Structure 1
């Protein structure tokens, strides 16, 4: 008799290797924004003012189960960011200080 290895319920699912750029059929913008927020979906900028989403396969399945028409536009491979585009903590602190330098401060800083 063959035995199967069972996955532990505490094991994390493997990270997705691809995500999809997608839109939601003929859904009004306000409703699409509400759905994206309620399901904690990542949104992308869109020059035409549409709600463009970045979905995993599970995200797309959840939307379809709720009755939404999902239009997949492209597949985007998931990979780490290039080190050159990630700020160090010191760079982020300098950038933030530059952004708020002219604002009146409370608390003596």
Structure 2
């Protein structure tokens, strides 16, 4: 089923994506998972690197939206600190969370 989905790019860490790269491609938003993408599963406070990256995205007018399979209370507790919108229980990889 998933063999038809192949990434256009692969990166080591989300922090390597810059606002300039996204703007050059006409991208206005980043949809991302939370655990082990933005933060380590056991570090709900995030890192300074995360805080800097989110600020750079915000200053560039690029929306960051967390799309997670985790429960609402877990996601909300983390994203509130960063003023991010989110979709919990998204049932990825189905399209439900993206609608």
Q: Which has the higher helix share?
A: 2
Q: Smaller-chain TM-score range? A: under 0.3
The two structures have a TM-score, normalised by structure 2, of: 0.24
Q: TM-score normalised to the size of structure 1?
A: 0.22
Greater radius of gyration (CA): 1
Higher normalized contact order (CA 8 Å, seq sep 6+, divided by chain length): 1
Which of the pair is proportionally richer in strand? 1
